[in-house]
Amino acid sequence: MQEQLVFDRPDVLADVPTHYCPGCQHGVIHRIVAECLEEFGLVEKTIAVSAIGCSVFIYNYVLVDTVEAPHGRAPAVATGVKRARKDAFVFAYQGDGDLASIGLAEIMHAANRGERISVIFVNNTVYGMTGGQMAPTTMIGQKTTTCPGGRCLEREGGPMHMAEIIATLGGVAYCARTAVNNMKNMAQTKRAIRRAFETQLNDEGFGFVEILATCPTNWKLSPVASNERIGKEMIPEFPLGVFKDAAKEE
């Protein structure tokens, strides 16, 4: 029987096993980002900014020019990159500890200035790399190594909703929250990333996509149960949708 290839790896994605834990969705999101870069023909002119956290090694998988930023500072580094090289396509890839905690000022101000950059924000409700401590996005009742009794609203505050917060800022052209827990949501994630990239290419403003993703290791759940948690627990707390799209306003 003649075989026909119907699904392939984007060339810009390295043909190597990733270091991520089984069931971790950083790999899935890398793939979607890689597909979007290729489909827009951006690979050759992209400069990526990698952040601190499990995804710091994105440069080992998505084969584009990359600079590593200190913890939380990726939006400031990306601002410097874009200002220095306006013809480049610039995206930053950040986790929730990185973006919503230590880097809160940098993301808010880059968004507010309307920097022509795209930020991919992977929200897995914990600090992954450092061993599962509480993040700003940790959900009420969720147990982590630094809130072993479960996050308590009165003691630690509630989870921060970054997509909703970012959408209020003037310089933002596109802001959405998606998930990668099923094919439908993966397709939606791809549409969102495409649209975020487009806002940069069209010089419309800042593009932001928050993606709900798993961290089976630190959630202490199987990959399958982790995926289910996204649908059952995370999406009710962090509703999916487009919170701002400048093109659709007026």
Partner 1 sequence: MSAKRIFIKGNEAIAQGALDAGCRCYFGYPITPQNDIPEKLSSAMPAIGGEFVQAESEVASANMLLGAAACGVRAMTTSSSPGVSLMQEAISYMAGSELPGVIVNMNRGGPGLGDIGSSQGDYYQSVKGGGHGDYRTLVLAPASCQECYDLTFEAFDLAFKYRNPVLILGDAIVGQMKEPVAPRAPLPIDPEAGADWKLTGRGQRAPRILKSLFLDDGALAGQNLHLQQKYQSMQAEVRYEAFETADAELIVVAFGSIGRIAKSTVRTLRAKGLKVGLFRPITLFPFPEAELRALAGQGKRFLTIEHNLGQMVDDVRLAVRGIADSDFFGFLPGNMPTPEDFDAPIRAAVKGA
Ligand X SMILES: Cc1ncc(C[n+]2csc(CCOP(=O)(O)OP(=O)(O)O)c2C)c(N)n1
Distance separating alpha carbons of residues 215 and 97, to the nearest angstrom? 13
Least distance between ligand X and beta carbon 108 (Å) = 16
Where do we find the tokens 């700003």? Answer: 136
Contact assessment for residue 101 and residue 72, using Cβ atoms and an 8 Å cutoff: yes
For ligand SF4, the binding residues (CB under 6 A) are 20-21, 24, 26, 54, 124, 128-129, 215-218
Pairing of strands 118-123, 126-127: unpaired
If one asks whether residue 144 binds ligand X (CB under 6 A), the answer comes out as no
Least distance between ligand X and beta carbon 94 (Å) = 6
If one asks whether residue 43 binds partner 1 (CB under 8 A), the answer comes out as yes
Distance separating alpha carbons of residues 117 and 79, to the nearest angstrom? 7
Q: Which stretch binds partner 1 (CB under 8 A): 1-9, 79-87, 138-146, 234-242?
A: 79-87
Six-digit token pair at 216?
């089976």
If one asks whether residue 212 binds ligand X (CB under 6 A), the answer comes out as no
Least distance between ligand X and beta carbon 36 (Å) = 20
135's contact among ligand X, partner 1, ligand SF4, none, with CB below 5 to 8 A by partner kind, is ligand X
24's contact among ligand X, ligand SF4, partner 1, none, with CB below 5 to 8 A by partner kind, is ligand SF4
Least distance between partner 1 and beta carbon 47 (Å) = 5
If one asks whether residue 214 binds ligand X (CB under 6 A), the answer comes out as no
If one asks whether residue 135 binds ligand X (CB under 6 A), the answer comes out as yes
Least distance between partner 1 and beta carbon 201 (Å) = 14
Q: Which is nearer to partner 1, 47 or 122 (CB)?
A: 47
Where do we find the tokens 């921060």? Answer: 160
If one asks whether residue 105 binds partner 1 (CB under 8 A), the answer comes out as yes
Contacts 24+ apart (CB under 8 A), 13-17: 13/61, 13/62, 13/63, 14/60, 14/61, 14/62, 14/63, 16/60, 16/61
67 three-state secondary structure? strand
Distance separating alpha carbons of residues 31 and 34, to the nearest angstrom? 5
Task: For residue 165, give the nearest of 180, 178, 177 by alpha carbon.
Answer: 177
If one asks whether residue 171 binds partner 1 (CB under 8 A), the answer comes out as no
If one asks whether residue 124 binds ligand X (CB under 6 A), the answer comes out as yes
**What is each CA distance from 47 to 14, 17, 109, 119, 249, in whole angstroms?**
16, 23, 20, 12, 30
Binding-site ranges for partner 1 (CB under 8 A): 43-47, 49-50, 56, 59, 63-70, 73, 76-85, 87-89, 105-106, 108-109, 113
Report the interface residues with ligand X, using CB under 6 A.
52-55, 71, 95-98, 124, 126-130, 135, 215
